[in-house]
Amino acid sequence: RLRDYLEICQKPNKTSDGLPFSLRANIEFEAELQTVKKYCAEGIGLLRTESIYLRRDFDDIDKQKSFYSTILKQTSPNPVTIRLFDAGGDKITGYESNDPNPFLGNRGIRWLLNKKELLMQQLRAICEVAANYHGLVRILIPMVSTLEEFKEVRNLLQQTQQELENEGISIDDNISLGIMVEVLNVALQADLFCTEADFLSIGTNDLTQYLLAVDRGNEQLSHLYDQRHPMVWRLIKNVVESAQEADKPLNVCGELASDPVSACGLMGLGITELSMNPAALPPVKKMLRQRSLSEMKQLATDLQHCQTISEVDNVYGEWKEK
Ligand code: PEP
Ligand code: MG
């Protein structure tokens, strides 16, 4: 099976009728780079940076820089999307241990904007490393819920670039700044966020929990937490329309993209860039290569029109049997 997978990975990223797509990897640790290469991911679509905290390196800009440069060197010349530190929620809670309602609390960009020195330091570390990279570096902001948050980060990024220039350090003018679409409001008002962001990345893990009001990690409620929910498909469609209208790149980096049938549904909605855990790359690629765009469009339409999860199950079952 491994040999089978490795063979698939060498083949072109095209649907059966020739539509190209990009598959990238979600990673958090250097050790994962091996699989990224083995399965021929076209770069990193989501670099989670919380490991910097786990290693207690968050205050040390040199250690941060060496983490980013290891990742970039191994990924060159493919694009790399570095997500700003996403503290809080189900992630590292050490910094803010008394948050009474972590998922609705001080997490992601909310937390970072209260810790500006750390945010500025992370932006600086990324900018310094990106300047020497022969490929696209993108910065992704987690847990955005207002346009003001985005604008504030944009200003801080510009300020950082200016400081570097003043110090005679070269900068990467092409660095782009995007937002995670993981709060319901952002998915609904995607047109507004598209006016400011350089790109969008849909995080279906959190988007689903904020849509359905179900804790993504609560096993007792796992029957209620399903990223394939028809309303998730409709929300994603809304985001696609806004991104296309504004001509902004859009990808999905949530777990939904790691499932082969769902990946076909996302392609059917018009999303040709998917990022997933590295192990999911071969099976996803295999199925995308076997089916045509018109079939995928029909799948996406069928999913949006389901009324219940058991109807969704049926659509998935039929698709697999085809
Ligand atoms: C998501 O929420 O879908 C996502 C990709 O981010 P994380 O799983 O790190 O919260
Ligand atoms: Mg998330």
Q: What is the pLDDT of residues 168-182, one digit of tens each?
A: 998 888 899 999 999
Cα of 208 to ligand 2 centre, how many Å? 10
Helix-strand-coil split of the chain, %, nearest 5: 55, 10, 35
91 pLDDT tier (thresholds 50, 70, 90): confident
Selecting among 9, 127, 194, 253, the annotated active-site residue is 253
Report CA(89)–ligand 2 centroid distance (Å). Answer: 9
User: Which residue CA neighbors atom 9 of ligand 1 most closely?
Assistant: 48
Residue 10 CB coordination number (10 Å): 7
264 belongs to the catalytic site: no
Q: Which ligand is nearest to the CA of 85?
A: 1
Is there a contact between 227 and 254 (Cβ–Cβ < 8 Å)?
yes
pLDDT attached to residue 56 = 77
| Whether the predicted model's global pTM rises above the 0.90 cut | yes
| pLDDT interval class at 312 (50, 70, 90) | very high
- Residue 260, preceding bond cis, omega within 30 degrees? no
> Using 50, 70 and 90 to split pLDDT, how confident is the model at 240?
very high
**Residue 56 annotated as lining a ligand binding site:** no
- Output the residue whose Cα is nearest ligand 1's atom 1: 203
Q: pLDDT category, 95, cuts 50, 70, 90?
A: low
pLDDT band at 93 (very low <50, low <70, confident <90, very high): low
* Atom 6 of ligand 1, residue of closest alpha carbon: 203
Residue 48 is assigned to a ligand binding site = yes
User: Residue 125 and residue 127: Cα distance in Å, rounded?
Assistant: 6
Asked which of 5-14, 17-26, 82-91, 232-241 is least confident by mean pLDDT, the reply is 82-91
Query: How much distance in Å is there from the Cα of 243 to the middle of ligand 2?
Result: 20
Q: Which ligand 1 atom is the nearest neighbour of the CA of 254?
A: 3
Q: How far is the CA of 270 from the centre of ligand 2 (A)?
A: 22
- Token pair 């998730």: residue: 232
Q: Taking CB atoms and a 6 Å cutoff, what residues make up the pocket around ligand 1?
A: 48, 86, 182, 203-206, 253-254
Check the annotation: does 110 bind a ligand.
no
Q: Which two tokens stand for residue 227?
A: 């990223």
Q: If you take atom 4 of ligand 1, which residue's CA is the nearest one?
A: 203
Burial of 170 (0-12, 13-18, 19+ CB in 10 A): exposed
C-beta separation of 203 from 254 below 8 A:
yes
Q: Which ligand is nearest to the CA of 203?
A: 1
